[in-house]
């Protein structure tokens, strides 16, 4: 897979929908558009094919400036348009396009080479900042993620809102790779198809292309809540799970997504088990160590959390749980 680069956008892009985009952009493609300030803002969209808000917000931005000079050069990466044509995160045979970037733990492949090439190209262009735009499948507030607790990163994230998540795992994410060369954020814009998510992301991009510099002062602690992702929770492969079915080993509570960004107490239940001797989850801390027992226990046939924590990205979508994870667990950073 050779990286495609273009210096102009296909005309129909300004009116295309995410499902038909594949006809215009059949392969992952990096577009470079000139602007008044030459160091480009890098924006990636559709790394996950079903997360359309970033594409729609970008399209709105491009429509706004159609026929005009952009305030700043833009480099835009359209990721998995093939998965987008089917409305899914990724195809079964593909790697996750937000796990292929330098620093990744997946084996080298065409996609990891492509991602490394993009980072090199953007470094040579003296990239101004990087924004990667995603959606959640569960009920979550909007928030920005950073991989460095650096003033410029936090300033860029705070432009999106007061809620910020800091993490260093999973590895191989876009914003982790760009964090090595410029201020970088990931936006999580709620569920796809929500008008407010599109507006919020559009306003954010429009603000960012007007920035002359990124503030280097600390963000006022009154304006910011930073949570640190301390663990990733997965369901062990081979464990049959579901929300309603009675023929599975692990029945998850139907209202788990209400716990997202909520402080939950030790003893809070996540689901029921048919075999109380078999832990269905595996929990990995940010060093990559297994810490399952520090977070979960089985009491009678109930799966419970062991200590006070705050989950994020809990979802009822079983495919996302299988392809990504069940949730992340966070702690508030006191500043």
Residues that bind Zn ion (CB under 5 A): 48, 51, 134
Q: What are phi and psi of 15, to 5 degrees?
A: -125, 0
- Could you tell me the smallest distance in angstroms from the CB atom of residue 198 to Zn ion? 16
Q: How many residues does the chain have?
A: 335
- Could you tell me the smallest distance in angstroms from the CB atom of residue 244 to Zn ion? 26
- Could you tell me the smallest distance in angstroms from the CB atom of residue 191 to Zn ion? 12
By C-beta, is 72 or 89 nearer to Zn ion? 89
By C-beta, is 285 or 323 nearer to Zn ion? 323
Query: Cis peptide leading into 112, omega within 30 of 0?
Result: no
- Could you tell me the smallest distance in angstroms from the CB atom of residue 103 to Zn ion? 17
Report the phi/psi class of residue 181: left, alpha or beta, with left for phi > 0 and alpha for psi in -120 to 50: alpha
SS (H, E, C) 280-311: CEEEEECCCCECHHHHEEEECCEEEECCCEEE
For residue 236, with 0-12 CB atoms within 10 Å meaning exposed, 13-18 middle and 19 or more buried, which class applies? middle
- Could you tell me the smallest distance in angstroms from the CB atom of residue 45 to Zn ion? 10
Residue 213 half-sphere exposure toward CB, CA atoms < 13 A: 4
By C-beta, is 59 or 140 nearer to Zn ion? 140
By C-beta, is 98 or 282 nearer to Zn ion? 98
Cβ atoms of 57 and 76 closer than 8 Å: no
DSSP per position, 66-111: TTS-EEEEEEEEE--HHHHHHTSSS-TTSPPTTS-STT--SPP-HH
By C-beta, is 144 or 305 nearer to Zn ion? 144
Identify the H or E element spanning 38: strand 35-45
- Could you tell me the smallest distance in angstroms from the CB atom of residue 219 to Zn ion? 25
By C-beta, is 80 or 152 nearer to Zn ion? 80
What distance lies between CA 6 and its chain's CA centroid? 25
- Could you tell me the smallest distance in angstroms from the CB atom of residue 98 to Zn ion? 6
DSSP structure class, residue 273: E
- Could you tell me the smallest distance in angstroms from the CB atom of residue 328 to Zn ion? 13
Determine the Cα–Cα distance for residues 248 and 243; give it in Å rounded to an integer: 9
- Could you tell me the smallest distance in angstroms from the CB atom of residue 242 to Zn ion? 23
CA-nearest of 231, 229, 199 to 332 is 229
Q: How far is CA 221 from CA 111, 146, 156, 331, 334, in A?
A: 39, 16, 15, 16, 9
Determine the Cα–Cα distance for residues 34 and 16; give it in Å rounded to an integer: 22
DSSP structure class, residue 154: H
By C-beta, is 52 or 152 nearer to Zn ion? 52
By C-beta, is 48 or 234 nearer to Zn ion? 48
By C-beta, is 9 or 179 nearer to Zn ion? 179
């Amino acid at each position: 897979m050779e990286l495609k680069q273009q210096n102009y956008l296909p005309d129909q892009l300004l009116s295309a929908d995410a499902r038909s985009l594949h006809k215009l952009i059949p392969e992952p493609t990096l577009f470079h558009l000139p602007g008044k300030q030459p160091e480009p803002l890098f924006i990636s969209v559709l790394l996950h094919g079903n997360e359309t808000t970033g594409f729609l917000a970008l399209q709105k931005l491009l429509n706004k400036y159609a026929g005009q000079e952009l305030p700043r050069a833009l480099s835009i990466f359209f990721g998995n348009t093939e998965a987008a044509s089917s409305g899914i995160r990724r195809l079964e045979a593909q790697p996750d396009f937000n796990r292929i970037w330098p620093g990744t733990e997946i084996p080298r492949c065409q996609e990891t080479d492509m991602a490394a090439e993009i980072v090199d190209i953007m470094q040579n262009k003296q990239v101004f900042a990087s924004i990667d735009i995603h959606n959640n499948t569960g009920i979550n507030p909007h928030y920005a993620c950073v991989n460095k607790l650096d003033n410029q990163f936090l300033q860029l994230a705070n432009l999106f809102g007061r809620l910020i998540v800091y993490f260093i795992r999973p590895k191989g994410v876009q914003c982790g790779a760009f964090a090595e060369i410029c201020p970088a954020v990931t936006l999580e814009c709620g569920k796809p198809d929500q008008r407010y998510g599109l507006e919020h992301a559009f306003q954010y991009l429009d603000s960012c292309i007007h920035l002359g510099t990124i503030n280097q002062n600390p963000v006022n602690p009154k304006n910011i809540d930073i949570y640190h992702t301390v663990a990733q929770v997965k369901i062990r492969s081979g464990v049959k799970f579901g929300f309603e079915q009675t023929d599975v080993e692990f029945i998850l509570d139907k209202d788990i997504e209400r716990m997202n960004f909520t402080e939950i107490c030790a003893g809070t239940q996540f689901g029921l088990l048919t075999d109380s001797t078999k832990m269905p989850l595996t929990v990995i801390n940010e060093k990559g160590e297994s810490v399952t027992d520090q977070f979960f226990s089985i009491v009678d046939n109930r799966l419970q959390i062991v200590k006070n924590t705050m989950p994020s990205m809990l979802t009822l979508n079983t495919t996302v749980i299988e392809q990504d994870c069940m949730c992340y667990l966070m702690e508030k950073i006191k500043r």
